[in-house]
Structure 1
Amino acid sequence: MAALRRRLFLTALTLTQAVVIPSALATDDWILLLQNKQCPECRLSDADLVHADLRDADLSGAKLQRANLSKARLDGADLSNADLSFTSLHGASLRGSNLTGAKLYGTDLRDCDLTGALLDTNALEEAHWRGAKGITTQSQSHAALHNAGVSAAKAERWTQAEDLFGKAIIKQPETAESWVARAIAREKLGKRKLAIQDFSYASQLFEKQGSIVPAKQLQAAAISLQEKTVTNETGNGVGSTLLGGLISTSQALLPIAMKLFMPTLGL
């Protein structure tokens, strides 16, 4: 009778949810999760749980390496200390979920909703998170934010670049390179007055650090842009010729942490 109930449950599940059930994964743990949503420390590596409704599920400490949870509903789920290495959560809803202690190495979090989710400091350092909503600066390091801004700038996604450089500045306001990078993004977006402010502040930071040459170059850039503003002169952005020397556009947008491993910077 138990075996019959199990077969009936699996049949009903495949008819009502977009969930693929490989025979090797049709285990008691797997059924327990989808039936009761209580499966701490489950072994669900490589499971296909696309579109699964796992709201408020207990998956604490679960082994979910390489599992496919794309578009899954995981609002309020407990994923603390879970292994989500190379797991796909693309487009999943994780609002209010608990991801503290979770292993997020190579995890695909693109386009997911992390609003209100609990994450460790710099938790997304090795995950892919482009397009994700609800991410706070606490879950990302300054280097990750700055380098993501670099990638956005190289793809000429200037609005996104400005936002990412701004978040990097909030994280580490004394790093002049992020101010320079945001100034370039703002000039590209036609926000010349804001670009001038960023260049001027970056100049002050370099001067404070004893880097006199770049400080003077940036101040000259700010003055040049101010003159263009007064004369209503238009242009195609700052460019390397305006900045010159060490503070060229290309150099200002180089990642500041080349040795830091971040899979495609989440972009």
Structure 2
Amino acid sequence: MAPPLRSHGPLLRGALLLATGAQLLGGAVRAAEADDVMRLLDKRVCSNCRLQDADLVMADLRDADLSKAQLQRANLSRAQLDGANLQGADLTFTSLLGASLRGADLRGAQLEGTDLREADLSGALLDVNALARSHWKQAVGVNPSARSYDDLHNAGVEAALQGRASEAEAYFNQAIQKQPDAPLSWLARGISRAEQDKRDLAAADFTYAASLYEQQGKKPVAQQLRKGAEDLKKNPDGKDAGNGWGGQFLQGAAAIFQQLAPLAIKYFAPLAF
């Protein structure tokens, strides 16, 4: 027979007290977070504030002190954060889409999965490779030192596959500056230059990429690239007839390019906005 319910009285009272305490604690936390939001908007000084999931769309936070603030998943889209102090702030999966961060201090900030698309980062202070796991496409004023080699190379890949050869060339330039011994970026830049009829420059890129691939023991790739470079030099004006070297070589090089392209982008966390 089941024991009388009254024998569970102390246990039930304890459970109710715990549940009530948890509710009160949760309410206190939410109230504290609301207080932090109000303090930020009123004083613009909110170091170490709890601002997780806060809705701060288009907020005027110029020169605000948000150092070490907890801003995970907060929505700061189109916010004005020029000159803001965000040192050590946790911006994990935070939306800064289209935000103005001119001159903001983001050193030590956590930018895992942060949406910085279309943001203005002119003059912003960022750690080296700080944007490696954020989403920064179409952001302006980004210092190349804040982006990793894989970021820059993959951005060039994306631009090239979308037919934006000039933009792709610019990204590959920056990738090469980061990692000058990476033959794939020399090859990729050569392809993007060839697409723009910069044949002498493309030939030089193919030749240098060939030497790097040869050092890696990839002689067939090196031979193909040297053949393409020679054809470019023979036909610098691009006046090849019909289906000459151009289409055939570019198709072959593009196949190598896609086969060997870094896949670091697959490690990026998906957008959460």
For the aligned pair, the TM-score class normalised by the smaller chain equals 0.7 to 0.9
Taking structure 2 as the reference length, the TM-score comes to 0.80
Q: 1:67 to 1:230 in 2, by over 3 A?
A: closer
Q: 1:133 to 1:184 in 2, by over 3 A?
A: same
Query: 1:227 Cα shift?
Result: 1.9
Amino acid in structure 2 at the alignment position of 1:252: F
Distance 1:236 1:44 in 2: 61
Where 1:93 maps in the other structure, the secondary structure is coil
Taking structure 1 as the reference length, the TM-score comes to 0.82
Q: 1:204 aligns with which of 207, 211, 222?
A: 211
Distance 2:51 2:214 in 1: 55
Residue 139 of structure 1 corresponds to 146
Residue 249 of structure 1 corresponds to 254
Query: 1:45 Cα shift?
Result: 1.2
Distance 1:115 1:234 in 2: 47
Query: 1:191 Cα shift?
Result: 1.7
Residue 77 of structure 1 corresponds to 84
Query: 1:199 Cα shift?
Result: 0.8
- Identity of paired residues, percent? 50
Query: 1:211 Cα shift?
Result: 3.0
Residue 150 of structure 1 corresponds to 157
| Counterpart mapping for 1:154-173 below 5 A | 154-173=161-180
Contact 2:103 2:122 in 1 (8 A): yes
Contact 1:25 1:44 in 2 (8 A): no
> Structure 1 residue 190 and structure 2 residue 190: aligned?
no
Query: 1:235 Cα shift?
Result: 7.8
Distance 1:234 1:54 in 2: 60
Amino acid in structure 2 at the alignment position of 1:49: L
> Structure 1 residue 111 and structure 2 residue 118: aligned?
yes
Residue-by-residue CA offset, 1:5-57 (whole Å, 9 max, x unaligned): xxxxxxxxxxxxxxxxxx97872211111111100011111111111111110
Residue 11 of structure 2 corresponds to none
Q: 1:239 to 1:32 in 2, by over 3 A?
A: farther
- Specify which structure has the higher proportion of helix: 2
Distance 1:90 1:54 in 2: 15
Distance 2:245 2:53 in 1: 49
Distance 1:189 1:154 in 2: 14
Residue-by-residue CA offset, 1:75-100 (whole Å, 9 max, x unaligned): 11011111111111111111111111
Where 1:84 maps in the other structure, the secondary structure is coil
Which ranges of structure 2 fall in alignment gaps of 5 or more residues? 1-29
Structure of higher CA gyration radius: 2
Contact 2:231 2:245 in 1 (8 A): no
RMSD of aligned alpha carbons: 2.6
Q: 1:44 to 1:237 in 2, by over 3 A?
A: farther
Query: 1:231 Cα shift?
Result: 6.6
Contact 1:54 1:75 in 2 (8 A): yes
Amino acid in structure 1 at the alignment position of 2:261: P
Q: 1:50 to 1:25 in 2, by over 3 A?
A: farther
Where 1:165 maps in the other structure, the secondary structure is helix
Query: 1:159 Cα shift?
Result: 1.9
> Structure 1 residue 89 and structure 2 residue 96: aligned?
yes
Distance 2:246 2:217 in 1: 25
Relative contact order (alpha carbons < 8 A, sep ≥ 6): 1 or 2 greater? 1
> Does 42-51 or 170-179 show the bigger shift?
42-51
The count of aligned residue pairs is: 241
Q: 2:63 aligns with which of 32, 52, 56?
A: 56
Query: 1:255 Cα shift?
Result: 2.8
Amino acid in structure 1 at the alignment position of 2:158: S
Query: 1:232 Cα shift?
Result: 2.9
